[in-house]
Amino acid sequence: MRKVAAIVIASAFFAILLISFYQIPQSGYSGSEYYYSNPITGSHANESVPSHYISGTKNETGAVNAVTAIVVEYRGFDTLGEVTVLFTAATGVAFLLHKGKGGKKRAEANLILREGSKLVLPFILLAGAYIFIHGHLTPGGGFPGGAVIASGFLLMMLSYPKFFMKEKPVSITESFAGITFAVIGLLGLLFASSFLENFLPLGNAGYLLSAGIIPVIYIAIGFKVGSELSSIADKFKEVQK
Amino acid sequence: MIEFTIISWIMALLVIGAAIYAIETKDLLSSAIAAGVASLVVSIMFLILQAPDVAITEASIGAGLTMAIFVYAIGKTGRWEK
Amino acid sequence: MMWPEYVTVAALISIGLYGVMAKKNLMKIFIAISLMETGVNLLLITIGYIPEGTAPIENGNFVKYVDPLPQALVLTAIVIGLSVTALALTLLIRYHSKTGTLEYRRGMKW
């Protein structure tokens, strides 16, 4: 009975969603002035928020990747809040899960997985570091790079039953990265006019050392996300029943 | 563009099938893995929709870390749904 | 119109809704919620897509870019979703160690 009712409600919801998606105006079509109509670079006529982001990214922030410019520069305060949410969730996980004493014996992974993961781990870490250092030039940034680093450590945790993250270096990295983010914001208050404003030279767009504070903040976010996600995975591995 | 449409329909069917399997199966472990498969295919959809940043994030988080956390939690609590 | 993506979004959200409504196992409900989350992220990216647009990375040759704003939102939303899922699973593990079951108690659900 409950199942039938749930199926009926879910199908009705599916139909309603499809009907409402049918009403969404085609992107790029300049029908309504409230709809973002013309995100074409260089065109300042009928300026909307996305087209301002796209056309202003290079001149205002020095970054090439518009997504990075939005995450770190235009909406950097929002990103600081999200990093705080991540920190709170990691703290909650660490607080609620009991640390095991390692009494239960786990099965060893086979030889190919063990040796292969040992071989691959440096390359995964290098790829993660590349992703968050070049966040302003290529797709990627602190969040994906940190996730890639955490998945590298996850691979080690899967193949070695006794591999644990050392708690102290992880928490030091995490706190240092978070403090870097906040201190750069405060330096913006000191040297420029507002919190998290760019105070370093923009440089030539397209080079590694450009875009002012964006690479610095993204490197901090990369370390923070990487250490937090790997410590979450580590807590889930350690916990006893 | 017609190839992209065909690929997108195939991926849509894959995602829907994986999602239905993830909800309907009694085995929680295969349910978590099916949810990871749906997440992985959605990350390819992000790539086709010209969102490479999101595709990297979804591939490593949605398909990797989320699934691993679910698998660890299922290992702590029990595999079969009654 | 991007019909494959829109159909996927509608299916993911309604399948997740069905799972939340019909299932009793809390782990199953969390899996359903994470499927819905994937659907919502896909919806935001799909709305920001422009036919024949390229990724919002300036290279001088293209003039038409997709909307970067939903991509920036979804980028952080995925990471936040993972941490929220981890917190929920933590609470679930504690619940299981207290009660020895993953089911809803009788009367807590319709």
Model confidence pLDDT, tens digit, residues A63-99:
888 888 888 888 888 888 888 898 899 888 888 886 6
Q: In total, how many domains does chain C have?
A: 1
Please name the member of C5, C31, C32 whose beta carbon is closest to the beta carbon of B70: C31
A131 vs A215, B45, C72, CA distance in Å? 11, 21, 16
pLDDT of A106 over the 90 cut: no
Q: Does A4 score more than 60 pLDDT?
A: yes
Which of A117-126, A199-208, C89-98 comes out lowest in average pLDDT? Answer: A199-208
**Residue A58 reports pLDDT greater than 80:** no
Sign of torsion, CA B69 B73 B78 B82? negative
The 10s digit of each residue's pLDDT in B12-70 is 999 999 999 999 898 899 999 999 999 999 999 998 888 888 998 898 898 888 998 89
Determine the pLDDT at residue A37: 46
Percent with pLDDT over 70 in chain A: 85
HEC per residue, B15-52: HHHHHHHHHHCCEHHHHHHHHHHHHHHHHHHHHHCCCH
C-beta atoms of C17 and A225 within 8 A: no
**Does pLDDT of A101 surpass 90?**
no
How far is the C-alpha of C33 from the C-alpha of C27, rounded, in Å?
10
Q: Which amino acid is at A171?
A: S
Per-residue tens of pLDDT for chain C, all 110 residues: 678 889 999 999 999 999 988 888 888 999 999 999 999 999 988 888 877 777 877 776 666 778 888 888 898 889 889 989 999 999 888 888 888 877 876 655 55
* Selection from A226, A232, A219 nearest residue A125 by Cα: A226
Domain that holds residue C73: 3-51+64-99
pLDDT of residue A238: 74
Has residue C29 been placed in a domain?
A: yes
Is position C108 within any domain? no
Consecutive H or E run containing A219 = helix A214-238
Q: What is the pLDDT of residue B35?
A: 92
Give the pLDDT confidence score for residue A47 in this predicted structure.
54
Q: Which of A45-54, A123-132, A178-187, C53-62 has the lowest mean pLDDT?
A: A45-54
**Residue C61, pLDDT score:** 66
**How many angstroms separate the CA of residue B73 from the nearest CA in chain A?**
7
Q: What is the pLDDT of residue C110?
A: 55
Tokens of A60: 């205002």
Residue A100 confidence (pLDDT): 59
* CATH code, domain with C16: 1.10.287.3510
Question: By three-state DSSP, how is residue A117 classified?
Answer: helix
With contacts defined as CB-CB under 8 Å, which chain C residues touch B11? 4, 8
Give the residue on A whose Cα is nearest the Cα of B61. Answer: A147
Residue B8 in contact with partner chain C when CB distance is under 8 A: yes
How high is the pLDDT of residue B64? Answer: 86
Look up residue B81 and give its amino acid: E
Residue A197 pLDDT exceeds 70: yes
Helix axes A214-238, A111-133, angle to 10 degrees: 150
| Gap between the Cα atoms of A188 and A209, Å rounded | 18
Q: Are C38 and B42 an interchain contact pair (Cβ–Cβ within 8 Å)?
A: yes
A238 CA: distance to closest CA in chain B (Å): 9
Is the model's pLDDT at A42 over the cut of 50? no
Most C CBs within 10 A among A82, A136, A228, hence the mutation to make, goes to A82
Mean pLDDT of all residues in A105-109: 69
Say if the Cβ atoms of C69 and A49 lie within 8 Å: yes
The pLDDT assigned to A27 comes to 52
The tens digit of pLDDT for each residue in A163-182 reads: 777 888 888 988 898 898 88
Residue that wins the pLDDT comparison between A151 and A28: A151
Of B42, B65, B76, the CB nearest to C82: B65
- What total of structural domains would you count in chain B? 1
A16-38: pLDDT as tens digits: 999 988 887 665 444 333 344 44
Tell which of B24, B56, B60 to mutate to test the A interface (max A CBs under 10 Å).
B60
Contacts of A142 (CB under 8 A, 6+ apart): A132, A135, A217, A218, A219, A220, A221, A222, A224, A225
Residue A161: its pLDDT value, please?
79
Reported ipTM: the value is 0.90
Q: How far is C74 from chain A, CA to nearest CA, in Å?
A: 10
Those residues whose C-beta lies under 8 Å from the C-beta of residue A79, and which sit 6 or more positions away, are A71, A72, A221, C76
pLDDT of residue A34: 39
Which residues fall within 8 angstroms of residue A40, CB to CB, at 6 or more apart?
A: A51, C63, C64
Residue C78 included in any domain: yes
Contact B51, C71 (CB under 8 A): yes
Residue B82 maps to a domain: no
Residues 20-79 of C with CB under 8 A from B: 23, 25, 27-28, 30-32, 34-35, 38, 41-42, 45-46, 48-49, 53-56, 66, 71, 74-75, 78-79
Binned at pLDDT 50, 70 and 90, residue B79 comes out as confident
Taking contacts as CB-CB distances below 8 angstroms, the residues of chain B near A229 are 61, 65
Which of the residues A14, A148, A157, A164 would you substitute to probe the B interface, choosing the one with the greatest number of B C-beta atoms within 10 Å? A148
